[in-house]
Amino acid sequence: MDIDINITQKERSLLRELAKRQAEIAALPVMAEREKLWYDLNDAKPGARPLVTMEFHGLARDVYPPPACENAFARAIESQMAMQIFKHDFYRDDRVIPPFIMVAIQNGITPFDYTADSDRVYEADGSAGLGYMYKHAVHDLESDAGVFKPSTFTVDAGLVKTNRLKAACEEILGDILPVRIEFPAFLYCPANVFIRMMSMETMFCSIPDYPELFHKLMRRLTDDYHAFIDAIEAGGAVIPNNDASHVPMDTYGYTRDLPGAGELDRPVRLSDVWGYSNFQETVGMSVPMFDEFFFTYTKEILDRCGLVSYGCCEPVHALWDQCLSRMKNLRKVSVSAWCDEDALGDMIRGRKIVFQRKPFPNLISVDSVFDEGAFLEHMKHTINAARGCPLEVTFRDVTSVRGEPQRLTRAVELTREAFARWWQG
């Protein structure tokens, strides 16, 4: 792995100052307290306190300070630390600022050996916007079946590449902040794979037009992922992620129900770590069809994971009875603005499953004046729907603040006020 680590003295000094600031924040007593709260929440411990985190995924310049480093390697380190510091200082939510920085294991898979190309929307100043459109290679599943090649993957056996990257980070700031290797939650999102290769219309039409071929492709893709899992397990390229490691959607891996580093007397397997999947691209499909053509295959992969976080924007309540209720290790579900949160609360109440609510983003993004009363009523509804469930509130669909980034901080404050007024555990 070629890494250009020839950073300037100015970049080095900047990174070291950021490391000092992150170390100061991480040492605050509240961080150890929050870490315990996250363990309690993810373990669905009786009486676990609801927690709130804020993320903004709109145009970065609307909220975040611009990066200062030019070297790509330095900028990646800068981004990780600067974001942690900014979000702590500005959002003041329940996030844990760790006393280390993380380097992800350098494993990777390219499904069907296909890399999508896209047309992007650019802003007036030439910067990349949020919009894009894939340049699809498949227009008729049967005629274009040759596009679907065997998936390719890379395995960082023995963590050789990752340790090189870790050492490069340590050389810059290891005397201030330790550097840890991270195994992010294992992702399997096959509908997203198909949408990168074909339009949603083509995918929806291909299933009834060529059901046997679609089944064949899903079987091949699932088998490719099984092979990838076998390879990273055999290569020692899986490590525990029951800590500050990232789990979609914008949450943490803290749990006592998975083994931690040094707790196993055998190689780590996927059954020891978090996994993740979502199917927001299939919301126009009937549940029986979704089950047959997607979920049945995906469950094979998810069942190999120790715990699973599931969902993005799709209304997961519609999938509960026939699909999600069959999962043996589901621990967290995404309750988006399109989900019937009352119905889902009834479905999972009493189960060891976290109700991860994504509040309606328009309450923050659309109105010229932030309606705090309407926001509180929205949060009251969520709290009532989630009663009896471990509750996590994650703001991650906000893409505009109408020039008022302080709305994000205020939303966190109001959410905490709603917890104090209406949460009964």
pLDDT tens sequence across 301-323: 999 999 999 999 999 999 999 99
pTM recorded for the entire structure? 0.95
Q: What is the tens place of the pLDDT at every residue in 3-14?
A: 777 899 999 999
Spatial contact of 231 and 270, defined as CB atoms under 8 Å apart: no
Q: What is the tens place of the pLDDT at every residue in 150-174?
A: 999 999 999 999 999 999 999 999 9
Q: What is the tens place of the pLDDT at every residue in 140-150?
A: 999 999 999 99
Q: pLDDT band for position 139 (50/70/90)? A: very high
Quick one: DSSP state of residue 87?
H
Cα dist from 406 to 316, 365, 411, whole Å: 31, 12, 9
Spatial contact of 37 and 49, defined as CB atoms under 8 Å apart: yes
Of 24, 56, 53, 55, nearest to 37 (Cα)? 53
CA 344 to chain centroid: 21
Average pLDDT over residues 377-404: 96
Q: Give the pLDDT score at 1.
A: 47
Q: Half-sphere exposure of 373 toward its Cβ, with a 13 Å CA cutoff? A: 0
For domain 9-422, give the fold: TIM Barrel (3.20.20)
Q: Give the pLDDT score at 128.
A: 81
Average pLDDT over residues 36-46: 97
Average pLDDT over residues 282-289: 96
Of 294, 392, 375, 384, nearest to 335 (Cα)? 392
Mean predicted lDDT score pLDDT of the chain: 96
Average pLDDT over residues 289-304: 98
CA 156 to chain centroid: 22
Q: Give the pLDDT score at 2.
A: 63
Q: What radius of gyration, in Å, describes the C-alpha atoms of the chain?
A: 22
Average pLDDT over residues 219-239: 98
Pairing of strands 246-247, 251-252: antiparallel
Question: Residue ranges of the domains in the chain?
Answer: 9-422
